[in-house]
Structure 1
Amino acid sequence: MTDFKLVLAIIAREKRAQLRDRGCTPVFLDTCADFLHTPGISVVRDAQIAVQAGRVPAMHDPTEGGVATGLWELATASAVGAEIDSHALLIDPATVRLCTAFELDPLGVISSGALLIGCTADSADAILAALHDANIAAARIGTVRPPSFGFQLRRDGHLTPLPTFPVDEITRLFA
């Protein structure tokens, strides 16, 4: 499951004038800025629902370094490889718009409010259904692979190494 509301709030709050100059409306910017508070960044409820719905041997709430770094951390801690489907990632169009405006990679921006759930294959559908029933956006974004597979991103049928972000992309806004 992925969620990029915090990065929207940060960019909308810190770069409002530049975004207005690039055609973003005040209503759009206000909506993005408010994501800091509504829906907020807690993943406790999401985690509780997932654990009640199926077998969840690992979870991670990615923060600095974004979803890509969170995936690296989760897979490394679990001693597994991972194949991630880029098209399955739930990246809000507003996130794409604001990241594109500042040439930031959405996979490497702060992702507080997102939750990565490592569940057993036979639990995935039940967990997704429970999250959807609770109106929580969620998707199956990848598959656990042997450690020798490494960390790969599948995009348009091709595998490439999952990008790494030693420094969060959001810091580039303030450089």
Structure 2
Amino acid sequence: MKIGNNFAPLALCAVRDAVLYHERLLQSETLRNRSDYEEYAVDLSVFLDEITHRYKKLEASLGLLLSDFFESDVPVLACRGKGNDKPHAAEVAIEISDPYALLMVSSVRDAILYRESLLRDETSQENLREEKEYLAHLTELLEYVKVEYKKIESKVGVPLEKILHLR
């Protein structure tokens, strides 16, 4: 799976948000099968490290420094087309191995769930517009990732529908 230059910063933030989402789940007192979630949270953290490392190698070509968007509560700069006016002779992409492609799809879904929960629970009025815009871009990223995943679904061996609806 390839995450193209327009989506790479957003994909990185989505994986970070998925890690935060699962950290919140692990703090929940109603969580069953905690060990399954702990193992998944570790897998996500490893994936975040991997995708961050890959992004850092390409950040000059991608046109947006990791430090410019990654630590923001609402990383609007990471949204497709934001802050990236640098022309590209060829598409620059982050390569994600087939096993990690599964995590990429579920990470974007979890990032959306995380951001929706923030909208319900914590968002101040001043961040509301940015949160909604960011959520819309995550939804666009999910559609992109689903199309990319479908290209390799038979190699991975896990149907997209299972990733999106079952755990």
The answer to which structure has the higher strand fraction is: 1
TM-score computed with the length of structure 1 as normaliser? 0.34
The answer to which structure has the higher helix fraction is: 2
Larger radius of gyration: 1
TM-score computed with the length of structure 2 as normaliser? 0.35
